[in-house]
Chains A and B, each alone.
Chain A
Amino acid sequence: MQPVIITDKLTKHFGDFIAANELTFEVDRGEIFGFLGANGAGKTTAMRMLCGLLTPSSGKATVAGFDVYKETEKIKRKIGYMSQKFSLYDDLTVSENIRFYSGIYGMNYEQIKKKTAELLDELQLQNEAKNLVRELPLGWKQKLAFSVSIAHGPDIVFLDEPTGGVDPVTRRQFWDLIYHAADKGVTIFVTTHYMDEAEYCNRVSIMVDGVIAALDSPSNLKKQYDTDNMEDVFYELARKAKRKAD
């Protein structure tokens, strides 16, 4: 099967500044792909290009089989997106949020009804269905946001630091949801600052100064850098950048 994401020398510059430099990689269907890098390394730029939100300066890429230059609308229908900063409307209820996002992605009335019931059941939020989202604890908000982002059955879901600040148990429950989704064939493209979460991924790429400095499975990377945890791997790579960046 064709990989869900294929990029070939994907590049973006803003004036003289090269935010993303000739990124070349592939992501397979059903893979949990960790996209790591320090703030300012170019992660957000790369993700935006793949989501069809930013036009690349040069290079090629396809997402879910569609070209990121010419077929961005088709890409958007096949992907889901969730970020830590925003995913749900605080001033709408839980059900209203589910209905809204499902409707936006073109699901019809019957499908939306079914999906809403499913989600509420899965997350055990039946009692909170009519509550405003702003009254939910942070952990539940994040779990709901994730479920909403895959409600329309996308091929791939982009998660931008989805577990920031959440307590350790909720964080793991969140990853349970990710595992379930990946099991069902959804490809997961996730960025995170928690290095232990990097270990949950099938493969991990680490961006430094706009370039992919490493891409492999966590265990291979650990062997390569002769260490037993991902944080040390990251530290080794990012440390060299600090001398150049600031």
Chain B
Amino acid sequence: MKQLIVFIKKEFLQVFRDKRSLLLLFGLPIAQIVLFGFALSNEVKNSKIVVVDYSKDAVTSQIIRKIAASKYFNIEQSMQSADQLQAAFKKGAIKMAVIFPANFAPNLQHTGKASMQVIADASDPNVATTVVNYVTQIVNSYNGQLSSLSAQPLQIVPEVQMMYNPELLGAPNFIPGVMALVLMLVCTMMTSVAIVKEKELGTMEILLVSPFKPLYIIIAKLTPNLLISIINYFIIIILSAVFLDLQVKGNLLLLTLCSILFILTSLSIGLLISIGAKTQQAAMMGSLMGMMLPTMLLTGFLFPVENMPIALQWFANFVPSRWYFIIVKQVMLKGLGIASVWKETLILLGMCVLLFTISLKKFKIRLQ
């Protein structure tokens, strides 16, 4: 018994003297509580919607007022034409459109029934369902109010249309997220570990003391991961098409080129991590904590970025997968072209160039 206590005492001493494990033991839970408790949530607030009122009567105005008062919605400037609506949806500028046809109130009075259109962007089915539910609740409660005041039962029927993903499949939202995650994971972790392994084994020393240019060492380490990631990308595309019935609606070449750009960006991050890490374990931890976690939480496929505190939203802009996720959604799901994604592509390109420049400059040609 005494011996057990002695051993346990030693374990405590060793744990508290290892700064890295302390960070993990205390830092991580605190970070998680803060993040999950305050920053990340599935609630959808301040969604941008558009209301089109062809009737402009007392009933529609009242409904619109209730919608405007809700914390869940931000009504954008009114649009009149169907083309404008289409364009807004394509850009991802609005999440939902509520359209009241002409003669809404008169129809309601005379026939006891009036329908309104609710169109939602279902590329993220969770968000779409949620906002449609919010609007439906508002309409229903108003409906109830009206009915209690009149003799006959009145029914306001929202006709819901889910765009881009009428069946509300989870896949269309998840697949782009999975693509970003998988490519990021392979590239950063495998690359950084492969480079650090040479350092740990001692073979890096011999390689450096040779005419072999350090640049070639980097290229040699990056190439297998680049090829494997491209193959992975195609596997995901094929599997999505065959098993999840999710084809690439837009230009496959454009999507592939952007994916390669993202892969290169992730590789450069792996390279950067390998420069700082002294052991394979440190490289793996750096990749997990440094890249996997932000990618999972801040890309936008698990938690909507728009609902996070401003500070976190700002931080999310530095995560490459956030931009890649947008590109994939626009091209793969909405079938859009370069005109819609040039901004994100440019940002990704900038990140890629910057990261490579930094890591190449910092690559150690000496041991210290």
- Chain A residues packing against B (C-beta within 8 Å): 89, 91-92, 96, 99-100, 103-106, 108
- Chain B residues packing against A (C-beta within 8 Å): 2-3, 5-7, 9-10, 13-14, 17-18
Residues of A within 8 A of B2 (CB): 103, 106, 108
Give the CA-CA distance A91 to B19 in the complex, in Å.
12
Whether A103 contacts B14 by the Cβ 8 Å rule is no
* Given A96-B13, A100-B6, A104-B7, 9 extra CB contacts under 8 A: A89-B14, A91-B14, A91-B18, A92-B10, A92-B13, A96-B10, A99-B6, A103-B3, A103-B5
Give the CA-CA distance A106 to B7 in the complex, in Å.
11
Residues of B within 8 A of A108 (CB): 2
Give the CA-CA distance A96 to B16 in the complex, in Å.
14
In whole Å, how far is A236's beta carbon from the nearest beta carbon of chain B?
A: 34
23 CB < 8 A contacts A-B: A89-B10, A89-B14, A91-B13, A91-B17, A92-B10, A92-B13, A92-B14, A96-B10, A99-B6, A100-B6, A100-B7, A100-B9, A100-B10, A103-B2, A103-B3, A103-B5, A103-B6, A103-B7, A104-B6, A104-B7, A105-B3, A106-B2, A108-B2
Give the CA-CA distance A106 to B1 in the complex, in Å.
9
Residues of B within 8 A of A99 (CB): 6
In whole Å, how far is B45's beta carbon from the nearest beta carbon of chain A?
A: 49
In whole Å, how far is B279's beta carbon from the nearest beta carbon of chain A?
A: 15
Give the CA-CA distance A100 to B7 in the complex, in Å.
7
Residues of B within 8 A of A89 (CB): 10, 14
Give the CA-CA distance A108 to B14 in the complex, in Å.
22
Interface-centre pick from B7, B10, B17, B18 (highest chain A CB count, 10 A): B10
Main secondary structure of the interface of B (DSSP, over half): helix
Tell me the nearest residue of chain B to A104, going by C-beta.
B3
In whole Å, how far is B367's beta carbon from the nearest beta carbon of chain A?
A: 20
Residues of A within 8 A of B3 (CB): 103-106
Give the CA-CA distance A104 to B7 in the complex, in Å.
7
Give the CA-CA distance A105 to B2 in the complex, in Å.
10
Residues of B within 8 A of A92 (CB): 10, 13-14
Residues of A within 8 A of B13 (CB): 91-92, 96
Residues of B within 8 A of A91 (CB): 13-14, 17-18
Give the CA-CA distance A38 to B11 in the complex, in Å.
37
Give the CA-CA distance A103 to B5 in the complex, in Å.
9
In whole Å, how far is A50's beta carbon from the nearest beta carbon of chain B?
A: 23
Tell me the nearest residue of chain B to A91, going by C-beta.
B17
Give the CA-CA distance A96 to B6 in the complex, in Å.
10
In whole Å, how far is A154's beta carbon from the nearest beta carbon of chain B?
A: 16
Tell me the nearest residue of chain A to B14, going by C-beta.
A91
Tell me the nearest residue of chain B to A103, going by C-beta.
B6
Give the CA-CA distance A92 to B2 in the complex, in Å.
19
Residues of B within 8 A of A104 (CB): 3, 6-7
Give the CA-CA distance A180 to B50 in the complex, in Å.
92
Residues of A within 8 A of B6 (CB): 99-100, 103-104
Give the CA-CA distance A92 to B10 in the complex, in Å.
8
Top 8 A-B residue pairs of the complex, sorted by shortest distance between their CB atoms: A103-B6, A100-B10, A91-B17, A104-B3, A91-B14, A104-B6, A92-B13, A100-B6
Give the CA-CA distance A108 to B17 in the complex, in Å.
26
Tell me the nearest residue of chain B to A100, going by C-beta.
B10
Interface-centre pick from A89, A100, A103, A106 (highest chain B CB count, 10 A): A103
Tell me the nearest residue of chain A to B5, going by C-beta.
A103
Give the CA-CA distance A106 to B3 in the complex, in Å.
6
In whole Å, how far is B9's beta carbon from the nearest beta carbon of chain A?
A: 8
Give the CA-CA distance A28 to B283 in the complex, in Å.
52
In whole Å, how far is B309's beta carbon from the nearest beta carbon of chain A?
A: 39
In whole Å, how far is A124's beta carbon from the nearest beta carbon of chain B?
A: 25
